[in-house]
């Protein structure tokens, strides 16, 4: 077992250090500077311990005074003296086997383990809930008995919901379009009612062709693919309708397009008139100031 296994297991290479707690610990303040320095080294060793917060070696064996002296590079007698100071002022505590530990660090490690274990048990319970039959009113009732008036809501699990999603059939308009076929949200939301609304709102658009064009655009621009594809396709169809230059066969151009053509012709005529007037004014101005100005 590597010495730094504990920090690698939970991905935490460092611990939080609170200067106010360091300076606010009256017991620690009563210790000598050398003892406080030893305690900082001990905190680092305990952080890397397989049982975080305890003064143990990588193999789980407790570290005693002579071993600690070798680790920190100090004299054994001095180390024992500093340990006596720290213990006398209540800086650390000891387990039943005499192992030194930091109360806060070890307590946080125990809390983390408890939460992780509860999470694992909760995950296993949620996976098995679907297999547990709903409790009946009497112990002798079998699963085929009449259902209880209040159904057990826990039976409906994320697994059951995922099965419901796969039931939705892929609309014909999406078949052959790999991105859209594999998008469960789009397949579920693109209902016959939505398709009917598209047909009414965008009569001048080839729906199948435009959806295929939108799909090709997403294939060509992978970094710009959309999350809400139903909204994206609706906007795409709306822009296609705006770009359309005619309505369905036999109906002629839409009335609003006729008006827009007429307005542009009138605006162009006024623009040409103003340009001609400006040209004539400049010619008169140049002729008045300098008759020899070239025509």
Low-confidence ranges of the chain (pLDDT < 50): 1-5, 8, 135-149, 152-166, 247-253, 258-259, 291, 293-295
Cα 282 from Cα 285, distance rounded (Å): 5
Tokens 């796969």 correspond to what residue?
Answer: 166
Q: Is the dihedral of CA 234, 205, 218, 215 positive or negative?
A: positive
What pLDDT score was predicted for residue 285?
A: 82
Contact status, residue 246 vs residue 204, Cβ threshold 8 Å: yes
Residues 157, 161, 165, CA angle at the centre, nearest 5°? 165
Number of Cβ within a 10 Å radius of residue 268: 10
Check residue 262 and give its pLDDT: 55
Q: Do 81 and 33 meet the contact criterion of CB atoms below 8 Å apart?
A: no
Asked whether the beta carbons of 203 and 247 are under 8 A apart, the reply is yes
Q: Which residues, including other chains, have CB under 8 Å from residue 98's CB and lie 6 or more apart?
A: 62
pTM: 0.40
Residue 52 · residue 100 · CB < 8 Å: no
pLDDT of residue 167: 52
Residues, the chain, total?
Answer: 295
Query: Cα-flanking dihedrals φ and ψ of residue 38, to 5°?
Result: -60, -40
Which residues lie across from 94 on neighbouring strands?
Answer: 100
For residue 12, the model assigns a pLDDT of 73
Task: Give, in words, the CATH class of 5-109.
Answer: mainly alpha
Strands, DSSP E only, in 162-207?
none
Dig out the tokens for 153 from the structure.
């809501």
Indicate the domain borders of the chain.
Answer: 5-109, 167-243
Tokens describing residue 69 = 């002296």
For the chain, give the mean pLDDT. 77
Distance (Å, whole) CA 238 – CA 112: 53
Q: How far apart are CA 165 and CA 235, in angstroms?
A: 25
Q: Which residues sit opposite 93 in a β-bridge?
A: 101
HSE-up (13 A, CA, CB side) for residue 50: 11
SS3 content of the chain, % helix, strand, coil (to 5): 60, 0, 35
Tell me the per-residue pLDDT of 38-85, one tens digit each, with 9 for 90 and over: 999 999 999 888 888 899 998 989 999 999 999 999 999 999 999 999
Helices (H), the chain: 5-10, 19-24, 26-29, 33-47, 65-72, 76-88, 103-128, 158-167, 178-181, 184-189, 192-201, 207-220, 229-243, 255-289
């Amino acid at each position: 077992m590597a010495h730094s296994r504990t920090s690698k297991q939970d991905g935490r290479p460092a611990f939080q250090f609170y200067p106010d707690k360091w300076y606010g610990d009256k017991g620690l303040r009563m210790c000598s500077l050398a003892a406080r320095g030893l305690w900082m080294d001990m905190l680092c060793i305990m952080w890397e311990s397989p049982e975080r917060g305890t003064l143990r070696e990588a193999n789980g064996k407790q570290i005693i005074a002579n071993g600690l002296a070798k680790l920190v590079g100090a004299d054994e007698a001095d180390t024992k003296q500093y340990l006596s100071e720290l213990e006398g002022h209540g800086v650390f505590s000891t387990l039943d086997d005499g192992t030194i530990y930091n109360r806060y660090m070890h307590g946080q490690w125990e809390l983390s383990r408890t939460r992780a274990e509860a999470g694992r048990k909760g995950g296993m319970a949620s996976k098995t809930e679907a297999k547990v039959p709903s409790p009946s009113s009497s112990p002798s009732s079998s699963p085929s008995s009449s259902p209880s008036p209040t159904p057990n809501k826990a039976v409906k699990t994320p697994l059951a919901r995922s099965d419901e999603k796969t039931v939705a059939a892929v609309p014909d308009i999406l078949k052959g379009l790999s991105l859209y076929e594999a998008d469960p949200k789009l397949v579920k939301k693109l209902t016959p009612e939505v398709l009917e609304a598209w047909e009414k709102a965008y009569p001048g658009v080839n729906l199948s062709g435009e959806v295929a064009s939108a799909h090709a655009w997403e294939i060509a621009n992978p970094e710009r693919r959309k999350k809400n594809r139903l909204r994206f396709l609706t906007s795409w169809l709306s822009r296609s309708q705006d770009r359309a230059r005619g309505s369905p066969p036999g109906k002629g151009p839409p009335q609003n397009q006729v008006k827009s053509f007429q307005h542009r012709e009138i605006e162009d005529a006024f623009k040409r008139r103003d340009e001609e007037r400006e040209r004539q004014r400049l010619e008169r101005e140049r002729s008045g100031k300098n008759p020899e100005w070239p025509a």
